[in-house]
Chain A
Amino acid sequence: MQWRTIFAKEMSEDWRNFKWVWVPLVFILIAIMDPITTYFLPKILDSVGGMPDGAVFEMPEVSPVDAIMMSLTELSMFGVLVTVVISMGVISGERKSGVAELVLVKPVGYFTYISSKWAGKLLLVLTSYIIGMLVSWYYVNILFGEITFSDFMSLLFFYGLWLVLVITITIFYNTLFKVPGVVGAVSIGTIIVMSILNQIFSHKLTWFPNSLSSHIGEMLTTGEISGDLWGTSVVIIILVIVLLVSSLFTFRGKEMAG
């Protein structure tokens, strides 16, 4: 009951500051930007000119899989950035302004508070992500070639896990730090360090969360869900649970101390 109240409050707040309008739009832009510019690149080069007469410039053929993977690459950068920016103040901002105290003075459990906020951001980001990818899928189908529905659904599901992890990391830091800017910077820093680790040890740590995209790419080309993809997903789900439980403890500790 309380859980739904806080969740509903979170939803109405995101409506009032227009997050439900601009976040989906931004995700659409992020998802379709790269496939569409790639499609138009030969024409842009033609119209800009500057090519010497008789110069032949072969454009590499872009497969549908390459095209939809471009969307994932962009989402991994800008999508993650937007996700962190909209969730960095969820709890820390309320603690800074004192709203958190007002809520927690009532008989609201810490876990209710954290998990309802987590779920609220999850719903917003995942909805935006699904809309963005649907639009991208539509364009890839008409401009580059077909990606089957079942392939697309698996891609949607598996990559969604990565965004869930990003939100959970940000929520975790929300319980550690009181300043939204610090939460954002540390979350982005963590994700960058993770991706560097992934690049260095990718041959050894095949189940590392950041290797998710490359496993998804493999899945789209081979048409089969590899064991590594399942392994990576399990690692991500475990990480999400561990982070949620730890944020409960750090938050409880902080609130007791403060």
Chain B
Amino acid sequence: MEELKELDLAVIAPFIIIQLVLMIVGLIAWFKTDETNGPKWMWLLIIVFGSMLGPILFFIVGRRQN
């Protein structure tokens, strides 16, 4: 049972790392963007609380490209 738990952690750890990296990069991008589609503070909430989908959504539709 102990071994099983260790394996589970090894499997889940990458997910947590990916989620963290996505969130951090999303926040950097959020800081650097002047204009967003919709209110800027709303995107902050989406990035922080939107788990993995939040930052991805922000990268795809959040920023206004000029």
Contact = CB atoms under 8 A, between A and B. Distances in A.
**A and B from one complex:** yes
Given A17-B63, A97-B66, A139-B11, A26 B56 contact: yes
A22 B11 contact: no
Contact of B29 (A17, A25, A135, A142): A17
A40 B9 CA distance: 12
Contact of B11 (A28, A29, A36, A97): A36
Size class of the A contact interface (CB-based, 8 Å): 20 to 34
**Interface residues of B: mostly helix, strand, loop or mixed?**
helix
B25 A18 contact: yes
Contacts of A21: 21, 25
A109 B14 CA distance: 44
Nearest to B33: A17
Interface string B1-41: 00000010001001100100110011011000000000000
A22 B22 contact: yes
Given A21-B25, A135-B14, A29 B52 contact: yes
Interface of A: 17-19, 21-22, 25-26, 28-29, 32, 36, 39-40, 85-86, 89, 93, 97, 135, 139, 142-143
